[in-house]
Structure 1
Amino acid sequence: MSNAVLQLEDRLTRLSLMPAVGGSIANWVTKDTHQPLLRLSDEQALASGSPRRLACYPLAPWSNRIAEGGFECPDGWLALTANTDHDRCPIHGSAWQQAWHVEEHSSSHAHLSLTSSAPFAYRAEQFIELCEGQLILRMRVTHLDTKAAWHGLGLHPYLPRTAQTRLCASAQTVWKATDDKLPNSECALPQDWNFNHLKPLPDNLVDHAFTNWDGKCLITQADAGYQLACHVSGADYFLLFCPVGGDFFCFEPVSHPINAHHLPGKPGLRLLQQGQSTELQLSLHYQPLAEVEQAVQGKADV
């Protein structure tokens, strides 16, 4: 697999893509200080050929785990097998494990595509743009198979985590998971998982889907002097993954909860006929905290 890197930049930031490695983002950093805005991919990560070692990768045509060896479609059962050596369930779809094609590339924009036959025929596209410190990533998937199938989308960014990292993301409930990492009940948010206001990340393991999300998120990194203002369309859920003692966390905008193919009503999934599409868009806006504070002070002085 080629590890060729595609570069984008705007006035404030620089982004590197690795289309052949799952259509992944390798790094996104500030131009003046080289501050990583997503988890830094070092030389070993860049050489690994694994999207899981990089900064962000696409999830299609589903997010996270699917149990029971597949799922039911209108024309019958679609059988799936495990696609990694670390999980017994097929996870995160198939787009992240294939090489993407560069359709178009300019200094600040890239259009990547993937035509896949597994687990059914679909075409995935990513439109990636940098503009004044804002990363905009739009993903579209079009169903190509003659038989209808259920689709879901997501993005899997890894973000730096320190003792001063704070998260605000308003949700109403969470799908609690069993020891097999599959959800079994939707319940009210525990206090330490309620991020309706800026707060530190929990010390315990979190690997769950949060529901009824408004699509907005704020991540502050006070020790690094910046915040990321996030806005998402096409996703009513987010997956939060906080490994114990880790120097990163994952905030994944997704269209559906874990194992939605086997939950009542298949929440968030879309049944697509041939030629139909579904989309998700993520924007992450880099904002130096000094500028944010100046803007707030300016409003207070008016």
Structure 2
Amino acid sequence: MSNDEITLAAGDAEVVLAPANGGRVRSLRVGGAELLRQGERFGCFPMVPWCGRLRDGMFRDGGAVHRMPLNAPPHAIHGTVRDGAWRVARAGGDEAVLTCDLGAPWPWAGRVTQLAALTGDSLTLTMSVETYDSSFPAQIGWHPWFNRTLGGEEVRVDFSPAWQEERGDDHLPTGNRIDPKPGPWDDCFGMPGGVDVTLTWPEQLELRVTSREEWVVVYDEQREAVCVEPQTGPPDGLNTLPRLVTPIEPLEATMTWSWRGR
């Protein structure tokens, strides 16, 4: 199928997917209002096979040391699949499936599949990483850029994490868990009951970001946007909390955005 942009529609919601630009959600409009920051690097992109910063672009798998390109020196950031074109496996009126093969510079072969399912009041993204050969560590996450203001109203971010990962001077978790601090944030939080973060634009819209995963990065240091990023482990997780993908056990994760008018 073509890699041209795909538009999904349900009720007064419309989603545009951009397979050729890293398989990202380029646009989410609800009642005609755009919720995602626009631009080639923005929208909402998948983070695979790692999330956030990878320390010095290096990780170990057993006795082997692997090096990834330093695209955010001195670290590697946000995986590899946002940099390439995805294929369209299926697309309908309110649902689409995209796939992307893992390969160089990632040292193993594998496949990433993302399902986008839209209803009138929610968008659910489900992603999996599969291998048919060698097992390898991996992470899954999403990096949405929500517009800070909507209808002239600035967003409020509400959530109740159990802890915050202490952040070192290199922007990576130190391994210590601390009590959550007030923003602004470029920080990872733990939510053992599952990610549940509410974005509220007063008098406009309320949107909940939920996931069964227990890790979320919140980034609100830019004037234009706020990022709420559910993921299967913390930044540098290939080194500190790897999840193994095997031929009989893929890595899977799901994120849902649900919204209602105010």
**TM-score where L is the length of structure 1:** 0.79
Aligned counterpart, 1:241: 219
Aligned counterpart, 1:22: 22
Show structure 1 runs of 4+ deviating over 6 A: none
Query: Partner amino acid for 2:165?
Result: W
Aligned counterpart, 1:177: 167
Is this contact kept in 2: 1:170–1:213, CA < 8 A?
A: no
Query: Partner amino acid for 2:202?
Result: A
Aligned counterpart, 1:95: 81
Q: What is the alpha-carbon distance in structure 2 between the residues aligned to residue 169 and residue 209 of structure 1?
A: 13
Is this contact kept in 2: 1:157–1:250, CA < 8 A?
A: yes
Aligned counterpart, 2:177: 187
| C-alpha displacement of 1:190 | 4.1
| C-alpha displacement of 1:122 | 1.3
Is this contact kept in 1: 2:10–2:94, CA < 8 A?
A: yes
Could you list the runs of 5+ residues in structure 2 that have no partner in the other structure?
A: none
Compare 133-142 and 207-216 and name the one that shifted more.
Answer: 207-216
| C-alpha displacement of 1:276 | 2.6
Query: Partner amino acid for 1:217?
Result: V
Is this contact kept in 2: 1:169–1:213, CA < 8 A?
A: no
Q: What is the alpha-carbon distance in structure 1 between the residues aligned to residue 164 and residue 16 of structure 2?
A: 33
| C-alpha displacement of 1:286 | 1.8
Aligned counterpart, 1:226: 205
Measured against aligned partners, the alpha-carbon deviations of 1:131-167 in whole angstroms (never above 9, x if no partner) come to: 1221111111112442x22111100011111464212
Q: Secondary structure at the match of 1:96?
A: helix
Aligned counterpart, 1:128: 116
Is this contact kept in 1: 2:123–2:257, CA < 8 A?
A: yes
Instruction: Give the number of the structure whose residues are more often helix, by fraction.
Output: 1
Query: Partner amino acid for 1:108?
Result: D
Q: Secondary structure at the match of 2:34?
A: coil
Measured against aligned partners, the alpha-carbon deviations of 1:147-192 in whole angstroms (never above 9, x if no partner) come to: x221111000111114642122221111122222122142322442
Q: What is the alpha-carbon distance in structure 2 between the residues aligned to residue 237 and residue 283 of structure 1?
A: 14
Aligned counterpart, 1:138: 126
Aligned counterpart, 1:257: 234
Q: What is the alpha-carbon distance in structure 2 between the residues aligned to residue 80 and residue 170 of structure 1?
A: 34
| C-alpha displacement of 1:275 | 4.4
Q: What is the alpha-carbon distance in structure 1 between the residues aligned to residue 117 and residue 148 of structure 2?
A: 25
1:1-302 maps to which residues of 2 (within 5 A)? 4-30=4-30, 32=31, 34-39=32-37, 41=38, 45=39, 50=40, 52=41, 54-74=42-62, 76-82=64-70, 84=71, 86-118=72-104, 119=106, 120-146=108-134, 148-162=135-149, 164-192=154-182, 202=183, 204=184, 206-214=185-193, 215-223=195-203, 225-233=204-212, 235-244=213-222, 246-263=223-240, 266=241, 269-289=242-262
Query: Partner amino acid for 1:262?
Result: N
**How many matched pairs?**
255
Q: What is the alpha-carbon distance in structure 1 between the residues aligned to residue 116 and residue 57 of structure 2?
A: 33
Is this contact kept in 2: 1:70–1:81, CA < 8 A?
A: no
Which structure has more RCO (C-alpha within 8 Å, separation ≥ 6)?
2
Query: Partner amino acid for 2:34?
Result: P
| C-alpha displacement of 1:260 | 2.1
Q: What is the alpha-carbon distance in structure 1 between the residues aligned to residue 181 and residue 51 of structure 2?
A: 26
Greater CA radius of gyration, 1 or 2? Answer: 1
Is this contact kept in 2: 1:74–1:149, CA < 8 A?
A: no
RMSD: 2.0
Q: 1:230 to 1:273 in 2, by over 3 A?
A: same
Could you list the runs of 5+ residues in structure 1 that have no partner in the other structure?
A: 193-201, 290-302
